[in-house]
């Protein structure tokens, strides 16, 4: 439209002399895919790794081959535990930061504290080979998952994982 072009030119000329505020229309790519399942699997993995670490046969100090096997297996279990505790925290941070909306927090005021606990227990699970800390992480992640599915209007149930460590997990009724 001719009038619009003229006004556009006028604003363009003014832009050099005046500072206009900039309004943004888009930022990152919204995939819209959120699911606490990976965080739950990661927390279960942390529990499983602590169990494995406790079940690795203790080596005889005088047997270098046994000692090598022990250190090797322990190192692998510790590495997996570290990675999954961090992955669990990462997944929760993404859902909390990108998906959770003010009205969800209004409906579930305990949500921020649950996320805070997940960060703390995730850190503790990395620092110590402590089953209690690993279970505390899993329990908080399950609470988060139950709230997440409720925000989607999807009911949940609790069941023991059909694989080690056979601990309770919140599953959506899909």
Partner 1 sequence: MVPYARDGDFAVSTRIFFSIRTGDVLVFRSPVDGRILIKRVKELEQVQDVTRFFMEGDNRMRSTDSNAFGSIERSSVIAKVIFIARKDRNQ
List of residues contacting partner 1 (CB under 8 A): 4-5, 7-12, 20-30, 32, 98-99, 101-104, 106
What one-character DSSP code corresponds to residue 152? T
Question: Roughly what angle, to the nearest 10 degrees, separates helices 37-55 and 131-151?
Answer: 170
Please, what is the minimum distance in Å from the beta carbon of residue 19 to partner 1? 13
The answer to whether residues 139 and 167 touch, using CB atoms and an 8 Å cutoff, is no
Helix or strand (DSSP H, E) at 123: helix 111-127
User: Cβ closer to partner 1: 15 or 79?
Assistant: 15
Whether the Cβ atoms of residue 108 and residue 147 lie closer than 8 Å to each other: yes
Q: Which is nearer to partner 1, 22 or 65 (CB)?
A: 22
- In terms of CB distance, is 4 or 65 closer to partner 1? 4
Minimum distance from CB of 17 to partner 1 (Å)? 14
Question: Which residue do the tokens 């805070």 mark?
Answer: 116
Least distance in Å: CB of 2 to partner 1? 11
């Amino acid at each position: 439209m001719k009038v619009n072009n003229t006004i556009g030119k006028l604003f363009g000329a003014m832009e050099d002399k005046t500072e206009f505020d900039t309004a943004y229309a888009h930022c990152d790519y919204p995939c819209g895919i959120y699911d606490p399942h990976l965080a739950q699997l990661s927390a279960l993995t942390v529990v499983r790794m602590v169990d494995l670490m406790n079940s690795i046969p203790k080596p005889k100090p005088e047997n270098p081959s046994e000692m090598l096997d022990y250190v090797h297996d322990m190192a692998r279990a510790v590495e997996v535990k570290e990675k999954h505790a961090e992955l669990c925290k990462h997944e929760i941070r993404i859902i909390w930061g990108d998906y959770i909306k003010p009205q969800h927090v209004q409906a579930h005021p305990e949500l921020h504290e649950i996320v805070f606990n997940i960060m703390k227990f995730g850190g503790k699970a990395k620092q110590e080979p402590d089953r209690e800390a690993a279970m505390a992480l899993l329990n908080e992640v399950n609470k988060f998952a139950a709230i997440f599915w409720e925000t989607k209007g999807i009911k949940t149930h609790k069941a023991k994982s059909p694989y080690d460590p056979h601990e309770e997990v919140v599953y959506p009724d899909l």
